């Protein structure tokens, strides 16, 4: 209706104006502010304040936060999701523990849901359509929390509706190589239904790969060999252990990209241009449906055909066959087919981000952003509410100090609760699209704490190289949970480490893909980012993630009983993230060590020389410009580190501090090239784009070489290799120039 559109435009304009007023207001330093102690430019990290915050982060309060957040299912845009928006606003507007400001920013986005009145279903049928067996949707009600009107039935979000049927084949993990293997073995895939297992490739890629080979429908299950260390009996799984029960089904988005599907590169405001539904790319081209491994066993263990390769075998207690179709002496007639009925619908829904803001005292126009998404598939105690529970506790402690007038950060802090992450990182992506210029110009770093606790063994940190040093500094000062006297750093070192040519043995910092809300910040905006969590001992389990991931069994009791009984790991993550946040917001000089990028670039260069050098020489392409560029960066980074050290020993003026901090902040942006990967939406960072090749080096170069290796010299494929090499060299030279003295023109 016309009045609805007018109201939507007005609301969108008001929200946009609101953020501009808030952040713009904070960018204007005040002549005097009674709430801003120690506002001189010399303000630096106050270790007494840091210790005070560490001591006040309370495990029992985090526990109660989690109980409240996860007591009901809260899928994006649901009434409970909106209730949590109000809860966050209330906390951040509290007169005793609140922040300077809190506000919501709403987007109208395209989401996908199953039909409650017409559930998705999988059936074994005769060629004429007679139903021999029906696999009911949903999970068994083991704890009284797996049924109810707000429990979303298992489905593949964004999979199209349809009722395909055909002979069943087993396609392992649904990769392109897996389908090619089936065809190599003489199996005709046209018109079949493919049964695949989670892992290997993304959810949506399984359906995309299948459709290329004529498959008409896809089923996806979680094999107990991939999640439960082979255990599959009800007595061995939840609620008797942390293992996924036989009826457990992983929900998830099957959309290939991130952000609102209708408004790529544009914020999904009511007035924004939207694509026609027929022009959307990235959706599964064929119906898909996830099922539990007890249902997968009935299908897979009755297949006929050759035995699957050893690497395709799982732990369902039978020899996995490839099909097509069922065996003669099985549970179903041999000529039976599988019918997949999917009734998903697409809906435009409002989804909100909630922002809580603390104004900086000295550099209010420099932002440290701390984010976590709010929405879940069902109760979501682990994913994402464990992260939100930590976020609320950190903001409570800082808000209390703020309201008492005893502390105010040097730089502004923005706490963010993102909406609709589970559907494809939608809330955070829309935010970065809307405020792209402001965020690129002013954001120091982005801290992401999505799932804060997978389990209680050790810290797991991922990030770009400059954040390594601040994470290390924080974790060395915090005790690890448990009876040992180790710091989080030393405990982390025990579980996962690497040998650094610069530092010796250090904990392993993982790289950032696109698994959570940091994606648009690092890949699209070029903002130094990190993701923090506590996780399990990979020496004791082969689980690819915690077993009840995206199921109706991810509940508060599951967390309290199996993952973090005393909530000490939650407290450890709160202290780690809180310490990193304070160090980034309060340190006079930003604690971002740009020299740590030199080690990464050197390792990429060595891999390129080792894995690609001979091939490139064959086609008269030299890596010498890349060698020179890496060395130039290393020299510039080392010189900046020395310059900062000299400034710290003296009394630099505010402009000197600001100039150096801007160099540290802007380094990550220098690695962006929006034309580097036109086929990969939002990916602009030339170092961290997806690498589909085997060489662990610069992704654009590695991918181009993989595509060109069988082509002739002078072909377009080899021209693209040369283009990618030039892109990398230009980026490294630009990054080096960013680090050189600002008066060196």
The beta-strand segments (E) located in 174-213 are: 193-197
Task: List C-alpha distances in Å: 661 to 25, 97, 578, 584.
Answer: 22, 30, 21, 11
The beta-strand segments (E) located in 519-615 are: 529-535
Token pair, residue 406, equals 């005893």
Helix or strand run (H / E) with residue 10: helix 2-26
Placement of tokens 């601040």 in the chain = 470
521, 427 contact by CB (below 8 A): no
Q: How far apart are the first and last CA of the chain?
A: 57
Token pair, residue 552, equals 């109706």
At CB < 8 A and 24+ separation, what contacts does 698-704 make? 698/604, 698/608, 698/724, 698/728, 700/676, 700/724, 700/727, 700/728, 701/608, 701/612, 701/725, 701/728, 702/608, 702/611, 702/612
Q: What is the dihedral of CA 83, 87, 89, 95, to 10 degrees?
A: 150
Looking at residue 153, the DSSP 8-state letter turns out to be P
Quote the distance between the C-alpha of residue 615 and its chain's center.
Answer: 35
Helix or strand run (H / E) with residue 217: strand 217-221
Taking the C-alpha atoms of residue 647 and residue 521, their distance in angstroms, rounded to an integer, is 30
Token pair, residue 151, equals 């429990």
Placement of tokens 């448990």 in the chain = 482
Write phi, then psi, for 237 (nearest 5 degrees).
-125, 180
The 3-state DSSP class for residue 266 equals coil
Catalytic residue IDs:
421
Write phi, then psi, for 446 (nearest 5 degrees).
-120, 125
At CB < 8 A and 24+ separation, what contacts does 84-87 make? 84/374, 84/417, 85/352, 85/354, 85/374, 85/417
The 3-state DSSP class for residue 295 equals helix
634, 732 contact by CB (below 8 A): no
DSSP string, 460-505: EEEE-GGGHHHHHHHHHTSBPSSSS--BHHHHHHHHSEEEETTTEE
């Amino acid at each position: 209706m016309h009045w609805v559109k007018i109201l939507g435009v007005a609301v969108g304009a008001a929200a946009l104006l609101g953020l501009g007023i808030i952040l713009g207001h904070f960018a204007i330093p005040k002549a005097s502010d009674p709430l801003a102690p120690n506002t001189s430019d010399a303000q630096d990290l106050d270790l007494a304040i840091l210790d005070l915050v560490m001591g006040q982060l309370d495990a029992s309060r985090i526990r109660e936060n989690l109980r409240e957040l996860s007591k009901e299912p809260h899928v994006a845009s649901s009434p409970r999701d909106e209730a949590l928006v109000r809860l966050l606003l209330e906390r951040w507007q509290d007169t005793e523990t609140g922040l300077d400001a809190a506000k919501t920013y709403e987007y109208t986005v395209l989401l996908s849901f199953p039909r409650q009145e017409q559930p998705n279903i999988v059936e074994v049928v005769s060629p004429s359509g007679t139903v021999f067996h029906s696999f009911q949707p949903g999970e068994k009600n083991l704890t009284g929390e797996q049924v109810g009107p707000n429990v979303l039935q298992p489905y593949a979000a964004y999979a199209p509706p349809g009722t395909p049927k055909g002979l069943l084949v087993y396609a392992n993990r649904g990769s392109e190589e897996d389908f090619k293997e089936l065809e190599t073995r003489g199996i005709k895939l046209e018109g079949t239904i493919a049964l695949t297992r989670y892992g290997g490739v993304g959810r949506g890629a399984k359906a995309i790969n299948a459709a290329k080979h004529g498959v008409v429908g896809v089923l996806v299950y979680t094999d107990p060999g991939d999640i439960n260390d082979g255990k599959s009996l009800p007595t061995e799984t939840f609620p008797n252990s942390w293992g996924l029960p036989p009826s457990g089904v992983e929900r998830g988005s099957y959309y290939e990209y991130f952000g609102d599907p209708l408004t790529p590169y544009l914020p999904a405001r009511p007035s924004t241009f939207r694509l026609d539904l027929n022009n959307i790319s990235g959706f599964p081209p064929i119906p898909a449906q996830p099922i539990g491994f007890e249902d997968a066993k009935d299908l897979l263990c009755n297949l006929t055909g050759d035995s699957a390769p050893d690497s395709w075998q799982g732990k369902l207690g039978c020899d996995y066959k490839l099909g097509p179709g069922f065996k003669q002496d099985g549970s179903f007639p041999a000529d039976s087919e599988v019918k997949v009925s999917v009734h998903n619908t697409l809906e435009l829904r409002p989804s909100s981000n909630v922002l809580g803001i603390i104004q900086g005292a000295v550099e209010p126009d420099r932002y440290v952003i701390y984010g976590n998404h709010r929405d879940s598939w069902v109760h979501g105690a682990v994913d994402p509410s464990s992260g939100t529970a930590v976020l609320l506790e950190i903001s409570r402690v800082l808000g209390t100090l703020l309201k008492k007038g005893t502390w105010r950060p040097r730089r502004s802090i923005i706490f963010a609760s993102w909406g609709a992450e589970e559907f494809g990182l939608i809330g955070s992506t829309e935010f970065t699209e809307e405020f792209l210029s402001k965020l690129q110009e002013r954001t120091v770093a982005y801290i992401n704490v999505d799932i804060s606790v997978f389990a209680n063994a050790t810290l797991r940190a991922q990030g770009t190289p400059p954040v390594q040093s601040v994470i290390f500094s924080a974790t060395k000062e915090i005790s690890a949970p448990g009876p040992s006297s180790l710091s989080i750093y030393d405990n982390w070192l025990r579980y996962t480490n690497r040998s650094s040519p610069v530092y010796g043995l250090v904990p392993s910092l993982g790289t950032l893909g696109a698994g959570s809300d940091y994606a648009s910040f690092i890949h699209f905006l070029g903002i130094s980012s990190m993701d923090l969590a506590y996780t399990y001992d990979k020496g004791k389990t082969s689980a690819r993630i915690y077993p009840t991931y995206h199921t109706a069994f991810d509940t508060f009791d599951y967390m309290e009983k199996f993952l973090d009984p005393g909530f000490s790991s939650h407290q450890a993550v709160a202290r780690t993230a809180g310490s990193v946040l304070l160090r980034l917001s309060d340190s006079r000089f930003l604690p971002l060590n740009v020299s740590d990028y030199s080690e990464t670039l050197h390792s990429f260069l060595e891999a390129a020389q080792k894995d690609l050098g001979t091939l490139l020489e064959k086609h008269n392409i030299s890596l010498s410009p890349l060698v020179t560029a890496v060395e130039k960066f290393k020299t510039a980074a080392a010189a900046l580190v020395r310059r900062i050290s000299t400034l710290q020993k003296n009394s630099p003026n505010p402009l000197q501090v600001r100039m150096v901090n801007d160099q540290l902040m802007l380094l990550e942006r220098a690695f962006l090239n929006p034309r580097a990967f036109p086929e990969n939406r939002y990916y602009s960072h030339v170092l961290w784009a997806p690498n589909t090749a085997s060489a662990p080096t610069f992704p654009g170069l590695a991918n181009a070489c993989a595509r060109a290796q069988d082509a002739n010299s002078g072909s377009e494929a080899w021209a693209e290799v040369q283009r990618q090499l030039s892109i990398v060299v230009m980026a490294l030279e630009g990054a080096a120039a960013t680090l050189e003295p600002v008066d060196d023109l």
